[in-house]
């Protein structure tokens, strides 16, 4: 089996391997003899492994030599337009669907080369891959064979390889785009699908900034597990050895993509350690899964210590200083700077204690959802009961550990908000804001966060005077920049919308919020929410093209938003489906909602009513079933 290939040789070996696969046996030997020594040895090993692989049983009809493809040729329900790429295993054509309900759809048609054998698992694997529905995965639409020519129809993606598209972009922008890639791979792994060929050329970025992964799992369709299903030089060592693959192989590939995105001169010590762990030679030494890698990328973005580096005291302190770099800058003496850094380190320890208590609180809360309890069949009711019981614990903690009690109070108020209990959330948020204002003052950041947290339940209860008064109070204390100011602009818009402001004023407020999010908090979930609000406003005023562009921006941000909120993602998908015919968006949105809030949350009434009305025009039975599930009126009598 081939040995791991030095990184410096990867591009040359990869290109040469594709070239060799296109040659006949006699031509290949002469071609190999002409190669430089450093390429010939790894190429011979790879080609030997390729040729000796034992495949699954073949479909006899696919053993014949397929005719060369040409523009205008019909293959299955598709008409070939132009060849857009080729490699050792397949050609890729731009094609148009000419038959069936999706006639006119543009696709990328992958045509495996003669001799590339498709196994009897084609139908099974096709069903598995077609089920991958994610905004950052180019979907496999269908697969089949005609006149001895197998074909795979994939979503058409216009864009450039991620390394080209992001060249020259700030490091933070590249890391945020990489999080989109991680989210897509995580989605597939959860459905037991490996990519097995992760590389920059399989990751495109469109003009709207959205990342799309290509060829997800296609290697599984073309080949069984083993040395053939990879790009030489980019694959994990165990993949090159032909061993059974796990998620560790994709983690290795993701490390290679990250290394390509960030050249060595731009890598901090922490980022270099992240790449090294992802690309460790032994699978056991890599990140355990994509979530673990994503966690370290988020830590990099937040200037927190990464798990890939030993947690030395000096490194932790340096991260604290970076997170607090603006307060520590200026003409301060060394002693003052050192004292500030030590104070920040102590603050970080207290933050860690609060976070640990919050995690334990949530874990204990959900572990206590007893299946034998009378309300076991109604998890929302059970959660409300348990939250009420936990208030006694918060009350007991307040005098002795107000910081931890404050964190638990925040979590409890947030959970009530997501349960649709604005009144209870308001009561808890008002208490928290008052306690912090009394103890820390209005100028303290934690007090300001609590104040912004109170705005939303006030608006949900339509208490516009109280909302206006609170926003005016916060306006005087908040800095002009930062996440809280972005949230303030968004909340100001929501208030003015409820007060009947004109569209022009509302758009100006939303664009103020977007400017702050883009500059100061691009990966916050509020960024995507603001794009959705702008899209809804533009759609309501008849600017359909602008609305579509804005909701696409929302969807480009939501996958890597912190925190990721499934119901927000679903609302964005439903809104886009209201602008264009996108049944896949509707299906994905309903899937997200059923796995999170359910379909009866108050904030879903409008988008689901719109969806039901659309379905009434085409499929009354489906519309009625959805209406029943959502607790909304069905189709009008005809």
Q: What is the pLDDT of residues 202-223, one digit of tens each?
A: 899 887 678 888 877 665 554 4
Q: Return the domain boundaries, the chain.
A: 7-52, 61-155, 160-309, 368-476, 479-582, 599-638
Residue 512, pLDDT > 90, answer yes
Q: With residue 450 as reference, give the H or E element that holds it.
A: helix 445-460
**Local confidence band at 499 (pLDDT 50, 70, 90 cut-offs):** very high
> What homologous superfamily does CATH list for 368-476?
Tetratricopeptide repeat domain (1.25.40.10)
Q: Evaluate the omega torsion of the peptide bond into residue 610 and state whether it is cis, within 30 degrees of 0.
A: no
- Mean pLDDT for the stretch of residues 380-405: 58
Residue 178 has a pLDDT of: 92
Per-residue model confidence as pLDDT tens digits over 415-473? 666 666 777 778 888 888 888 888 889 988 889 988 998 998 899 889 999 999 999 99
- Mean pLDDT for the stretch of residues 391-416: 62
Per-residue model confidence as pLDDT tens digits over 320-348? 444 444 333 333 333 333 333 333 444 44
Query: What is 160-309's CATH topology?
Result: Transferase(Phosphotransferase); domain 1 (1.10.510)
Residue 160 bridge partners (DSSP): 205
**Local confidence band at 349 (pLDDT 50, 70, 90 cut-offs):** very low
The mean pLDDT of the chain is 75
CA 126 to chain CA mean position, Å: 23
Residue 628, pLDDT > 80, answer yes
Residue 485 has a pLDDT of: 93
CA 29 to chain CA mean position, Å: 45
Q: At what angle do helices 334-367 and 379-397 cross, to 10 degrees?
A: 140
What six digits make up the tokens of 295? Answer: 């966690």
Ordered strands of the 203-205 beta sheet: 160-161, 203-205, 211-213
pTM of the model: 0.45
Instruction: Say if CB 493 and CB 510 are below 8 A apart.
Output: yes
Residue 151 has a pLDDT of: 81
Residue 374 has a pLDDT of: 43
- Asked if the domains at 368-476 and 479-582 fall in one CATH topology, the answer is yes
Residue 335 has a pLDDT of: 32
What is the spatial distance between Cα 459 and Cα 472, in angstroms, rounded to a whole number?
A: 14
**5-19, 98-112, 447-461, 584-598 — which is least confidently predicted?**
5-19
**Local confidence band at 390 (pLDDT 50, 70, 90 cut-offs):** low
Architecture of domain 61-155: 2-Layer Sandwich (3.30)
**110 marked as binding residue:** yes
Q: At what angle do helices 445-460 and 483-498 cross, to 10 degrees?
A: 20
Residue 261 has a pLDDT of: 93
Give CATH for domain 479-582. 1.25.40.10
């Amino acid at each position: 089996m081939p040995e791991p290939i030095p990184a410096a040789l990867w591009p040359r070996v990869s290109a040469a391997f594709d070239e060799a696969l296109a040659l006949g046996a006699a031509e290949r030997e002469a071609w190999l003899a002409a190669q430089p020594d450093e390429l010939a040895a790894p190429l011979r090993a790879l080609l030997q492994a390729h040729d000796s692989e034992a495949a699954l049983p073949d479909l006899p009809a696919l053993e014949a030599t397929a005719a060369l493809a040409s523009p205008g040729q019909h293959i299955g329900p598709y008409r070939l337009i132009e060849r857009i790429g080729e490699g050792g295993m397949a050609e890729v054509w731009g094609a148009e669907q000419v038959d069936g309900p999706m006639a006119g759809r543009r696709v990328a048609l992958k045509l495996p080369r003669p001799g590339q054998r498709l196994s009897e698992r084609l139908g099974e694997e096709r069903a598995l891959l077609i089920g991958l529905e994610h905004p950052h995965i180019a979907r496999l639409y269908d697969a089949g064979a005609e006149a001895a020519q197998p074909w795979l129809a994939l979503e058409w993606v216009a864009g450039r390889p991620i390394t080209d598209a992001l060249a020259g972009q700030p490091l933070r922008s590249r890391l945020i785009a990489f999080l989109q890639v991680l989210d897509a791979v995580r989605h597939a792994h959860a459905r037991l699908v490996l990519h097995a060929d992760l590389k920059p050329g399989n990751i495109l970025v469109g003009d709207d900034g959205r990342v799309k992964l290509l060829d997800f799992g296609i290697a599984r369709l073309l080949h069984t597990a083993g040395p053939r299903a990879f790009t030489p030089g980019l694959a994990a060592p165990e993949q090159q050895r032909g061993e059974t693959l796990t998620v560790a192989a994709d983690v290795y590939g993701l490390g290679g993509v990250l290394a390509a995105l960030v050249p060595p001169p731009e890598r901090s010590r922490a980022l270099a350690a992240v790449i090294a762990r992802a690309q460790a030679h032994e699978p056991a030494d890599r990140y355990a899964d994509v979530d673990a890698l994503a966690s370290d990328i988020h830590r990099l973005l937040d200037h927190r210590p990464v798990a890939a580096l030993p947690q030395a005291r000096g490194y932790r302190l340096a991260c604290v200083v970076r997170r607090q770099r603006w307060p520590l800058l200026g003409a301060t003496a060394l002693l003052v700077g050192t004292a500030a850094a030590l104070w920040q380190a102590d603050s970080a320890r207290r933050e860690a204690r609060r976070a640990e208590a919050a995690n334990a609180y949530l874990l204990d809360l959900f572990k206590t959802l007893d299946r034998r309890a009378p309300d076991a069949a109604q998890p929302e009711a059970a959660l409300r009961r348990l939250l009420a019981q936990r208030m006694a614990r918060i009350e007991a903690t307040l005098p002795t550990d107000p910081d931890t009690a404050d964190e638990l109070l925040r979590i409890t108020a947030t959970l009530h908000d997501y349960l649709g209990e604005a009144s209870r959330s308001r009561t808890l948020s008002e208490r928290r804001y008052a306690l912090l204002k009394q103890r820390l003052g209005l100028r303290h950041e934690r007090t300001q966060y609590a104040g912004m947290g109170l705005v939303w339940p006030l608006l949900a209860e339509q208490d516009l005077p109280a909302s206006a008064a609170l926003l005016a109070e916060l306006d005087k204390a908040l800095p002009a920049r930062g996440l809280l100011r972005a949230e303030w602009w968004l909340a100001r818009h929501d208030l003015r919308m409820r007060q009947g402001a004109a569209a022009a004023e509302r758009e100006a407020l939303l664009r103020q919020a977007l400017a702050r999010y883009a500059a100061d908090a691009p990966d916050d979930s509020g960024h995507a929410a603001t794009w959705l609000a702008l899209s809804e406003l533009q759609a309501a005023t008849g600017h359909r093209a602008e609305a579509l562009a804005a909701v696409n921006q929302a969807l480009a941000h939501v996958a890597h938003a912190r925190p990721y909120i499934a119901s927000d993602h679903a609302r964005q998908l439903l809104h886009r489906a209201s602008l264009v015919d996108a049944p896949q968006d509707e299906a994905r949105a309903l899937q997200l909602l059923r796995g999170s809030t359910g379909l009866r949350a108050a904030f879903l009434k409008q988008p689901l009513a719109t969806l039901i009305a659309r379905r009434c025009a085409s499929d009354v039975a489906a519309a009625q079933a959805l209406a029943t599930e959502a607790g909304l009126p069905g189709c009008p009598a005809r």
